[in-house]
Amino acid sequence: MEVNEKIAVDHGLKLDEYKKICDLLKRVPNLTELGIFSAMWNEHCSYKSSRLHLKKLNTKGKKVIQGPGENAGVIDIGDDDAIVFKIESHNHPSFIEPYQGAATGVGGIMRDVFTMGARPIANLNSIHFGSTQHKKTKNLLRGVVKGIGGYGNCIGVPTIAGQTCFDQSYNGNILVNAMTLGLVNKNKIFYSKAAGINKPVIYVGSKTGRDGIHGASMASAIFDDKIEEKKPTVQVGDPFTEKLLLEACLELMSDKSIIAIQDMGAAGLTSSSIEMASKGNLGIELHLDKVPCREEKMTPYEIMLSESQERMLIVLENGKEDSAKKIFDKWNLDFAVIGKTTNSKNIELYFKKEKVANVPIKFLANEAPMYDRPWKKTKLPQKIKFSNNDFKKLKFNDVIKKIISNPNICSKQWIWEQYDHTVMGDTIQKPGGDAGVVRVHGTKKAVASSVDSSASYCYAHPFTGGKQVVCEAWRNLVSVGAEPIAITNCLNFGNPEKKENMGEFVECIDGINEASKYLNFPVVSGNVSFYNETKDKGIKPTPTIGGVGLIKDYKNLMSMNFKSIGNLVLVIGKTEGILDQSIFAKVILDERKGPPPEINLFNEKNNGETALKLIKEKLALSVHDVSLGGIMIGALKMCIAGSKGIKFNKFKDLINIYQYFFAEDQGRYIIEVDKNNLKKVESILKKSSVHFDLLGEITDKEIIINDELTFTVDKVTEFYKGWLYKYMS
Amino acid sequence: MNSSVIIFPGSNCDRDMDVALKKFGFKNKMVWHDDDKLPKSDLIVLPGGFSYGDYLRCGSIAGKSKIIQSVIDYAKSGGLVLGICNGFQILTETGLLKGVLQQNKNIEFICKNVFVKINNSENKFFENIDRDILELHIAHNEGNYFCSEDELKSLEDNNQIAAYYCSSDGKVDDRSNPNGAIKNIAGIFNEKKNILGMMPHPERMIDQSLSGEDGSIFFENLLKNLK
């Protein structure tokens, strides 16, 4: 088939992009070559809209071993141990087929981590759905949760934390972001950079099928006459094969036969082979009839663009083929030498002894388009003036009940009980805490991780929102007693060709960058997901931040559950009473305007470091950061976790009681302190210039406000834990 | 004491079991499914996981694997065999234990702490155990034990029910049944009580930093009984 402009456009290429391809090649590409260009030049692989802005990110730090650009980021946690981690989106497939979409999202991110030689030790996820009233939400939620569980549980990696949000902006585009942490010896990390000429290129794992070829932009010209061969565009996951692949790869990695390794993720064999060659400044020659195929009569085009799961490409040392093959035979996996590295600097493909493609690799990688898309700044919205009249008709108990059982606040136990969170025997903080924590097997160390997003804040003001999410991740790690080290980001946005959406992206990045620099909390890996848009309606800007921190001695793990009756409760950080963009404003007052709460990075850092100091000196007995729902929801969650009550001190602040308890001012923590240590704690807080309020005292069961009993902890627990079970039943 | 843990492709609690056995003093060896001989052992453990992807039916392919004939011979000659979770499913597939493990009643994977009441302590596994209620952990999609009425009667008559799911104070009722298992059955023995299959994972609860440490009571006691 002759390639022409129409076929190029059907492949998702713009006309000027197609023209550039012809100019570079000085000829018209054949169909296989066009397919390869379209895969490498699409947004997902080339980051053409985002690259310019991603360059600005703060990616350096003393503990960073590998920043963005590899399969995953790597940080040093001491004693030759390193943590490999990354977050990735699988949004579009999960909306079309929630189970497989979510499952293969988890499978893909785990492969990114074990490709680097690390054994995965924890999974996390951030999932966003449409309104709970929307007819699709329940099924999508059920399918996604089953998919995440189905894959992670089978592999035997614990899912230790996550986040679930509901908002109507996701009605037509759900978000499924999966994150994995792996443990590796820092001297035994594997990279994707090929080196050396005439080294064998090895294909291992599952066979290649026709699944996942090109998705929606698939050229109709190709499939019209063979419509019966068209398969669903969502890939199908096989966690069992992935488990075998994981064990086989780690076994092969224990000796020195691998030069470079890359998993076949998006754009399958195309991107994996080109990336390895490009990084090593080499050429690569592949014989496609040697690729193990699951289906008959697959063409070079299909083999190159298949996104079949659970496959890896390896550049091996010469002479190691037999010993490597033995390992893959043992694990019953396909193993095939399909080509070699060359000095041509081209990708050369052969099929049945015929050369079917020949393209200089730099055209596909370095010459990929990069756009400086026009973007629009978002103005800071005006502050809302709340008057006492707004609060007059409210009843405190009703407000508590409504907020604690709100879908975005309530317990997600229905979800995380379907995830194996204890396999591997090192989970010391399970889901439901501020961050999940796993021990570094066989050591005193533990790694904490959390995942956060704040789409409403980012929508109201992207720059502030971007800063806020990074701070939230930082706070969650501090709350479990971990020293925050680094982050990974999953940037979920609408259509970059619209200047409003592009503006949201640019300003969120600026916000992320500012907070990341100030807190010395560098970005080491990540992924961008654009075009989360249906019928012209995009999602709220949703950068998701996954944070990772270290607890040097796991016995110093901190938790949020109130420990003892009679202990005092303090709030660290100042409460000005900012209700704009709060859950309270939205759910109780139906007010969605206003700016997000301001971020003061000095206070953020100072308050967090002081909280860590109190934890280290064993003066704080329980800790929880104040986030959605303000002090009231924060304190109630601590009550619920510890099955205790709290008597709040009589309220004498100048601001309204609702403002005090439900404001979402940033940089705050609630801590529990023994009465006898109060003086010591006060002196540390004063010395560090940290504002604090004495909030109340822990009781047996009663939750008392202004000397009146509101609820018992059992009742509040029922509101908190009951909602999602009821919704899903 | 020597123990062996069998690794099937897809096993994922093999390391956890190895760690637990060693922690309490067993000399443990790992045995690959494709081997045909077992090392000399005082205890064979079939660990949890998804052997062979649990394709076809949970445990069914493992029940036909190469090593399994040696396990059957070992069990028939009176050797001690413990199957946890997927291991329990494999034991029912080999016919060494009666009944089947169906999908959980709520058709969802369940991962949480449960209480179990030990029903028969006149055997090597539970003899002299000083607690009759243990808090253990379950993580499974197919733990809903089922058998025919005749089989149930013979299990009861022979005192082959090892443990029931119960409340924290030992009440065996519907509320404390996590997966719909018939009669709240969490684990059973063979007739001679040298084979134990159970869904809960004692190996995940072996120190206070984890979900609990009642699993330690099980392993410490087992080792004592074997000495």
CB pairs under 8 A between A and B: 87
Task: Let me know the angle formed at the C-alpha of A478 by A474 and A482, rounded to the nearest 5 degrees.
Answer: 110
Helix residue ranges per DSSP H, A547-665: 583-587, 601-616, 630-642, 657-662
A83-102 tens-digit pLDDT? 999 999 999 889 888 999 99
Q: Which helix (H) or strand (E) holds B216?
A: helix B214-226
Q: For residue A689, what pLDDT band results from cuts at 50, 70 and 90?
A: very high
Under a CB-based contact definition with an 8 Å cutoff, are residues A179 and A124 in contact?
yes
CA distance A244 to chain B (A): 7
Residue whose entry in the numeric block shows the structure tokens 């497939």: A93
Q: For chain A, how big is the Rg over CA atoms in Å?
A: 26
pLDDT exceeds 90 at position A236 = no
Active-site pick, B85, B93, B135, B140 = B85
Supply the pLDDT for residue A10: 87
pLDDT exceeds 80 at position A216 = no
Q: Is A349 helix (H, G, I), strand (E, B) or coil?
A: strand
Q: Give CA–CA dist A274/A280, Å, rounded.
A: 10
Supply the pLDDT for residue A222: 36
Alpha carbon of residue A530 to chain centroid: 15
pLDDT exceeds 50 at position A330 = yes
A271-291 tens-digit pLDDT? 999 999 999 999 999 999 999
> What are the φ/ψ torsions at residue A21 (nearest 5 degrees)?
-60, -50
What domains lie within chain B, and their CATH numbers?
2-226 (3.40.50.880)
Provide the β-strand partners of residue B101: B145
For A332, name the nearest residue in chain B, comparing CA atoms only.
B9
Q: Give the residue from A482, A466, A525, A412 showing the smallest Cα distance to A163.
A: A412
A629-675 tens-digit pLDDT? 999 999 999 999 999 999 999 877 678 889 999 999 999 999 999 99
Q: Which helix (H) or strand (E) holds A710?
A: strand A708-712
Supply the pLDDT for residue A232: 58
| Chain B residues close to A146, C-beta within 8 Å | 108-109
Q: For residue A221, what pLDDT band results from cuts at 50, 70 and 90?
A: very low
For A239, name the nearest residue in chain B, comparing CA atoms only.
B53
**Could you tell me the pTM of the whole model?**
0.94
Q: Which residues contact A244 (CB under 8 A, 6 or more apart)?
A: A331, A332, A333, B9, B10
Q: For chain B, how big is the Rg over CA atoms in Å?
A: 16
B12 and A156 in contact by Cβ < 8 A? yes
The beta-strand segments (E) located in A482-618 are: 483-492, 523-529, 533-534, 537-538, 542-551, 568-572
Q: Give the residue from B36, B109, B127, B104 showing the smallest Cα distance to B73.
A: B36
pLDDT exceeds 50 at position A205 = yes
What is the side-by-side strand order in the sheet with A159-166?
A64-66, A73-76, A81-89, A175-185, A119-129, A159-166
Which residue among A238, A332, A428 places its CB closest to the CB of B209? A428
For B140, name the nearest residue in chain A, comparing CA atoms only.
A420
CA distance B137 to chain A (A): 9
**Test the B interface: residue of A142, A422, A424 with most B CBs within 10 Å:** A422
For A554, name the nearest residue in chain B, comparing CA atoms only.
B209
Q: How many CB atoms lie within 10 A of CB A516?
A: 26
Active-site pick, A11, A53, A90, A624 = A90
Catalytic, A421? Answer: no
Supply the pLDDT for residue A227: 37
**Test the B interface: residue of A148, A153, A160, A251 with most B CBs within 10 Å:** A153
CA distance B200 to chain A (A): 12
Q: Give CA–CA dist A418/A150, Å, rounded.
A: 9
CA distance A382 to chain B (A): 47
A423 and B204 in contact by Cβ < 8 A? yes
A243 and B12 in contact by Cβ < 8 A? yes
Residue whose entry in the numeric block shows the structure tokens 């445990």: B59
Residue whose entry in the numeric block shows the structure tokens 């952990």: B137
B53 and A146 in contact by Cβ < 8 A? no
Catalytic, B140? Answer: no
A157-183 tens-digit pLDDT? 999 999 999 999 999 899 999 999 999
For A424, name the nearest residue in chain B, comparing CA atoms only.
B16
Which residue among B50, B139, B141 places its CB closest to the CB of A422? B139
B137 and A422 in contact by Cβ < 8 A? yes
Under a CB-based contact definition with an 8 Å cutoff, are residues A202 and A324 in contact?
yes
Q: Is B12 helix (H, G, I), strand (E, B) or coil?
A: coil
| Chain A residues close to B49, C-beta within 8 Å | 156
A422 and B111 in contact by Cβ < 8 A? yes
> What are the φ/ψ torsions at residue A205 (nearest 5 degrees)?
110, -145
Q: For residue A233, what pLDDT band results from cuts at 50, 70 and 90?
A: low
- Per-residue model confidence as pLDDT tens for chain B (227 residues): 999 999 999 999 999 999 999 999 999 999 999 998 999 999 999 999 999 999 989 999 999 999 999 999 999 999 999 999 999 999 999 999 999 999 999 999 999 999 999 999 999 999 999 999 999 999 999 999 999 999 999 999 999 999 999 999 999 999 999 999 999 999 999 999 999 999 999 999 999 999 889 999 999 999 999 98
**Test the A interface: residue of B113, B137, B209 with most A CBs within 10 Å:** B209
For B104, name the nearest residue in chain A, comparing CA atoms only.
A418
Q: For residue A44, what pLDDT band results from cuts at 50, 70 and 90?
A: confident
pLDDT exceeds 90 at position A366 = no
